Homo-oligomer: A and B are copies of this chain.
Amino acid sequence: MSTIRGARERARIEVTAAIKDEARKQLAAEGAAKLSLRAVARELGMVSSALYRYFPSRDDLLTALIVDAYDAVGDVAEAARGKSDDPAATAHTARWTAVTCAVRGWALAHPHEYALIYGSPVPGYTAPQDTVGPASRVGQVLIALVRDAHRADGLAVPPLAAELRPEAARMAADLAPDLPPAVVASLVSAWAQLFGLISFELFGQFNRVVEAREQLFRHAVHELGRSVGLLDGRTPARPGATGA
């Protein structure tokens, strides 16, 4: 009996995966707004009403795709933090570059899933609570990376406008109490700016403007790394530098 239930569950998992795979194909063809259970069923040789046993509504399927996409890019970012281009474990800028380039690489390889999570919100769809954990993973990787750098080499703490000080303190308390508030504020900015670079490339704003996109990206994220205080070999010798 347990084997029967096991077999049934296995089948269910397989069909669920097939539905999501087909849905991802449709995402590419028609976009998230037009994702339809019927079309997925048709392509799978099923009838639409059968899908409702797997996903109670179109929005639930969409949520599953969103969670999967956040997890996929989160996996890629975490893996890239583990192995950097540079063998020296202390080369934190190399890791910063590795993580940001890995995120860009995933986005270029999965443009429609990227658009699903970092593009315009799907009209009429409101993300349930299930998505907030996965959505934070790339940010967590960046925080962890900067934290490592802070502990090992210190950071060149960036300047912080007076009007931003309370918010920086609040964000730091929320996100990384062990980091200087100015670093956390710059990191949140850098996080948004990083995805700005990727989105412009992916969404066509760089058409007829930028050709060597990887070079521009690497240059920009290198500067972003500096903006959050990463030192890339230089010893601080600047007033704001913090020790390990």
In the complex the two chains form, is B123's CB within 8 Å of A120's CB?
no
A215 interfacial contact with B, CB 8 Å: yes
Identify A215's interface contact among B31, B164, B193, B204, CB under 8 A. Answer: B164
A163 to B: closest C-beta gap in Å: 5
Q: Closest CB of chain B to A83's CB: distance in Å? A: 22
CB distance from A66 to the nearest CB of B (A): 12
Stretch touching chain B among A4-12, A39-47, A51-59, A216-224: A216-224
Inter-subunit contact B210/A171 (CB<8 Å):
yes
Closest to A136 in B: B209
Is A87 part of the binding interface, using a Cβ–Cβ cutoff of 8 Å? no
User: Chain A, interface size: which category?
Assistant: 35 or more
* Contact among B124, B135, B188, B208 with A216 in the assembled complex (CB-CB below 8 Å): B188
Say yes or no: is A156 at the interface (Cβ < 8 Å to chain B): no
Interface-forming stretch among A16-24, A194-202, A234-242? A194-202
> Per-position contact with B for A23-41: 1 when CB-CB < 8 Å, else 0?
0000001110110000000
Interface centre among A33, A204, A227 (most CB of B within 10 A): A33
Contacts of A141-184 to chain B: CB distance below 8 A: 158, 160-161, 163-164, 166-167, 170-171, 174-175
Interface SS, A side? helix
Q: Find out whether the CB atom of A31 lies under 8 angstroms from the CB atom of B30.
A: no
State A91–B210 Cα separation when bound (angstroms). Answer: 29
User: Which residue of chain B has the shortest Cβ distance to A163 in the bound complex?
Assistant: B215
Residue numbers in B under 8 Å from A211 (CB-CB)? 167, 170
In the complex, residue of chain B having the shortest beta-carbon distance to the beta carbon of A124:
B30
| Distance between Cα atoms of A167 and B213 in the complex (Å) | 9
- A212 CB to closest chain B CB, in angstroms? 4
Q: Which of B186, B203, B224 contacts A118 (CB 8 A)?
A: B203
A123-B29, A161-B218 known; A210-B195 Cβ under 8 A: no
CB-defined contacts of A30 to chain B, threshold 8 Å: 123-124
Binding site for B on A (CB under 8 A): 29-31, 33-34, 115, 118-124, 127, 132, 135, 139, 158, 160-161, 163-164, 166-167, 170-171, 174-175, 185-186, 188-189, 191-197, 199-201, 203-206, 208-212, 215-216, 218-220, 222-224, 227
Q: Which 10 A-B pairs have the closest CB atoms?
A: A196-B196, A119-B120, A31-B123, A193-B193, A33-B33, A167-B212, A115-B120, A192-B200, A189-B220, A193-B196
